[in-house]
Amino acid sequence: MRFFTWFLKSLYHRQSILASRFRQTIHILGHVCFTIFVALIPYCLVLSVSIWSGITLIEQTLVEEDIDFLITEGVLQTSVESTPSVLELNESHQIIIDPTNELTVDRLDYQGILLQEQSVVFHTANVNQALSYTLLGEGVFTKTDILEKLSDIKSFLPILLVIISIIVLSVMIGLAFLGISLLAFVGHFLQRRNPSITYVHLWKIAAHTITLPVILFAWIIVIGDFIPLLLWIGLVVALYCYLIIRLPQKKKSRKTA
């Protein structure tokens, strides 16, 4: 079978998953990498959009709002008397200046940006990403300097987002291989009485078994807030029924007189 045929059948076809123990190791490695890639597509897209929109919001706010602060050696300093100070951007987004770190992301009711003592946090419904002020460099930075830096960052931000996505993908692929190895070890321990099933066989089977759970888990975490739970259950059940219907039926052997 072709690579994508193996991938699709590993989502539902039990016989194909069992037969995967005879595939070449290089194909198994490619299968695991592709599985993690598909699973992380929503996360990387949401992360990229969140960072881009966050930087855009900071840039627009610094231009329009009367905010006075400095960043000295990676530390936020402001003349705002009452902190945290909340700036409403619209009905659902806000910027909070919190140089004393009194707030945490878990306590935020709205999406937006949290300027803390040593980092800025982009908060959305699905992603919380913190970036240190040290990315600006060493020294003292005024609001005008930060606007210039933001303009420079946005010029190469697409490349930076690709690099971040590749790093996240590499880390998750490593964790996937570790999880597969542990899963195969447990399976080998339980099947030690069957000498025909080796650890390598179980490792290859485990690599195909995780396909559907990993993709569903990663996608539900990211876009679960946008789709009600009952709809998710209905979609999964409908997909499962459809795939089961497409399973090849065993031909009944005719009885000879």
Domain ranges across the chain: 65-156
H-state helical runs in 108-142: none
Residue 225 has pLDDT above 70, yes or no: no
d(CA 64, CA 142): 15
Q: Is 104 left (phi over 0), alpha (psi -120 to 50) or beta?
A: beta
| Residue-wise pLDDT tens digits, 73-111 | 788 887 665 567 777 666 666 777 777 777 776 666 666
- Is 168 in contact with 45 (CB distance < 8 Å)? no
Residue closest to 173 by CA, chosen among 31, 8, 77, 49: 31
Residues 6+ apart with CB under 8 A from 190: none
d(CA 96, CA 256): 82
| Residue-wise pLDDT tens digits, 34-87 | 999 999 999 899 888 878 877 787 777 777 666 677 788 788 887 665 567 777
Mean of pLDDT values over 172-189: 89
Is residue 244 packed enough to be buried (19+ CB in 10 Å), middle (13-18) or exposed (0-12)? exposed
Alpha carbon 196 to its chain's center:
38
**Measured in Å, how far apart are the chain's first and last C-alpha atoms?**
38
| Residue-wise pLDDT tens digits, 106-156 | 666 666 777 788 888 877 665 677 778 887 777 778 778 878 888 888 888
d(CA 48, CA 69): 27
